[in-house]
């Protein structure tokens, strides 16, 4: 550590950087909450289309809506 590390200017700069980082974290948290709410709305919309279809040899497989719904639910729960 050199003598300039504890100057008032350096401390002020560090505080400013921390404030900026905290603001960005807060903005990202808000964005994540909005995206999670959007995923919930998408899951509700996709639910009626979720079904199985006949796969190879007549074995049921999830259709595209069911596969997508499953991935969404995995992320939001």
Tell me the per-residue pLDDT of 29-77, one tens digit each, with 9 for 90 and over.
Answer: 999 999 999 999 999 999 999 999 988 888 999 999 999 999 999 999 8
Full-model pTM: 0.72
pLDDT at 3: 58
Chain Cα centroid distance, residue 7: 39
State the pLDDT at residue 30: 98
């Amino acid at each position: 550590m050199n003598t300039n590390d504890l100057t008032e200017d350096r401390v002020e700069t560090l505080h400013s950087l921390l404030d900026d980082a905290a603001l960005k974290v807060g903005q990202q948290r808000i964005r994540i909450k909005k995206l999670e709410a959007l995923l919930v709305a998408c899951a509700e919309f996709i639910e009626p289309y979720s079904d199985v279809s006949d796969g190879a040899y007549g074995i049921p497989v999830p259709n595209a809506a069911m596969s997508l719904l499953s991935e969404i639910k995995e992320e939001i729960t």
